[in-house]
């Protein structure tokens, strides 16, 4: 499964429930959303936590468990049902499947059987259109150099996505030393990335949400550590676990990368569905794009995720033309963000996102369209700009060592 499944379990037998819980907590492909000790309350638990899968232990009261399966099938069809039982009675299995269960597993459970059952449930949910958090999209935003507007794009893209109904969006600031996503949102967070990393092993849905800062736009923020000494407390393994939790909780995860492309950034790149590489149409930026693409091409499946985004398009008459830039980097330009210096200075200084400060501005509309494209629309064709600096660009497009 590409993304973690969110599970809720119910079993009145405490020993059986704890054993099942221990098995599930050891699997990276799942996140235990909630547990319940009574059949009568489980429908309410599903209503409140909206898990992808409900795991029902039947042995305490098979008849009541069957009624629960039927109830969930009628009221919460997005929740797929997996039944666990020590019985191998064919009649009971048939009744459970007729009631609406997708899978029936016999005790004692083998981890590989559970994984395979969840794989099948995940594929069924996807084909039936019932996927929500299972379809979480991860968008990494990286810069060809400092100051090209990476954080501004990440923040405002996140706010635009969060404004869409049924979207839940979180932004993670991975510039662990100098990140300023919190400043762009005028936020003073209580917790940071290091707090979540230190507690990743015991995080649940409620604790995770409490560890994030929610902006008025609906965007959640997980900022970089406050102290520089805390940066070393976050390992690549921690980052992988955190991303698993976030993907199981949010429909969209935005990752604002650092400029070092270090181990933490590489975990983010590997997890991303889209990597927006932000550049400007000048020689230093395009040179770095070529260098980065040479490295990305050596990383498995990464090059195909890269989407080149030109920021501050039309900034002056001496910018390098799009056609020449594309020839230089050997890739199409995926998107152009228009230059709007005055508006961007205002929003950064005021800590207010574009959709609130300047909803009708050209830059705002462009980011809105980008958000739409990344969630299923079509990209616009790039428009040709003025040409420039031919000798150096020919050198770069010739892929000579830089």
Same domain, 345 and 203: yes
Same domain, 147 and 100: no
| Structural domain span for residue 22 | 5-127
Same domain, 111 and 144: no
Question: pLDDT 10s per residue in the chain (402 long)?
Answer: 446 788 999 999 999 999 998 888 777 678 888 899 999 999 999 998 889 999 999 999 999 999 999 999 999 988 999 999 998 888 888 899 999 999 999 898 888 888 888 888 877 655 444 444 446 899 999 999 999 999 999 999 999 999 998 889 999 999 999 999 999 999 999 999 999 888 876 666 667 778 999 999 999 999 999 999 889 989 998 898 888 888 877 889 999 999 999 999 999 999 999 999 999 999 999 999 999 999 998 887 898 999 999 998 877 666 788 888 888 888 899 999 999 888 999 998 999 999 999 999 999 999 999 999 998 754 444 444 433 445 445 555 554 443
Decide if 17 is inside a domain.
yes
How far is 374 from 161, CA to CA, in rounded Å?
Answer: 10
Same domain, 293 and 212: yes
Number of domains within the chain: 2
312: left (phi over 0), alpha (psi -120 to 50) or beta: left
How far is 5 from 355, CA to CA, in rounded Å?
Answer: 32
Q: Which of 84, 104, 127 is the last residue of a domain?
A: 127
User: With 0-12 CB in 10 A as exposed, 13-18 as middle and 19+ as buried, what is 59?
Assistant: middle
* CATH number for the domain harbouring residue 104: 3.40.50.2300
């Amino acid at each position: 499964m590409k993304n973690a499944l969110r599970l809720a379990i119910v079993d009145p037998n405490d020993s059986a429930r704890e054993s099942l819980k221990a098995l599930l907590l050891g699997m990276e492909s799942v996140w235990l959303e909630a547990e319940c000790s009574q059949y009568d309350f489980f429908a309410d638990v599903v209503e409140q936590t909206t898990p992808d899968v409900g795991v029902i232990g039947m042995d305490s009261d098979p008849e009541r468990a069957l009624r629960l399966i039927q109830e969930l099938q009628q009221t919460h069809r997005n929740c797929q049902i997996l039944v666990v039982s020590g019985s191998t009675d064919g009649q009971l299995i048939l009744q459970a499947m007729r009631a609406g269960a997708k899978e029936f597993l016999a005790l004692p459970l083998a981890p590989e059987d559970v994984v395979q059952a969840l794989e099948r449930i995940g594929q069924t949910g996807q084909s039936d259109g019932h996927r929500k958090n299972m379809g979480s999209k991860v968008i990494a935003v990286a810069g060809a150099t400092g100051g090209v507007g990476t954080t501004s794009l990440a923040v405002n893209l996140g706010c635009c996505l969060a404004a869409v109904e049924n979207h839940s969006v979180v932004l993670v600031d991975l510039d662990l030393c100098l990140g300023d996503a919190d400043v762009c949102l005028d936020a003073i967070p209580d917790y940071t990335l290091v707090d979540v990393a230190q507690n990743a092993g015991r995080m649940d849905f409620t604790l995770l949400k409490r560890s994030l800062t929610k902006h008025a736009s609906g965007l959640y923020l997980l900022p970089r550590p406050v102290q520089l000494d805390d940066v070393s407390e976050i390992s690549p393994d921690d980052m992988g676990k955190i991303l698993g939790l976030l993907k199981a909780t949010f429909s969209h995860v935005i990752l604002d990368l650092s400029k070092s492309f270090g181990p933490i950034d590489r975990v983010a790149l590997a997890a991303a569905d889209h990597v927006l590489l932000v550049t400007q149409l000048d020689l230093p930026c395009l040179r770095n794009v070529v260098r980065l693409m040479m490295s990305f091409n050596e990383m498995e499946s990464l090059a195909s995720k890269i989407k080149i985004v030109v920021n501050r398009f039309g900034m002056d008459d001496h910018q390098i033309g799009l056609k020449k830039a594309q020839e230089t980097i050997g890739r199409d330009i995926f998107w152009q963000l228009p230059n709007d210096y005055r508006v961007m200075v205002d929003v950064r200084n005021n800590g207010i996102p574009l959709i609130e400060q300047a909803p009708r501005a050209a830059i705002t509309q462009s980011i809105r369209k980008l958000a739409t494209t990344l969630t299923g629309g079509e990209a616009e064709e790039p428009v040709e700009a003025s040409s420039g600096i031919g000798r150096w660009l020919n050198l770069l497009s010739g892929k000579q060592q830089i």
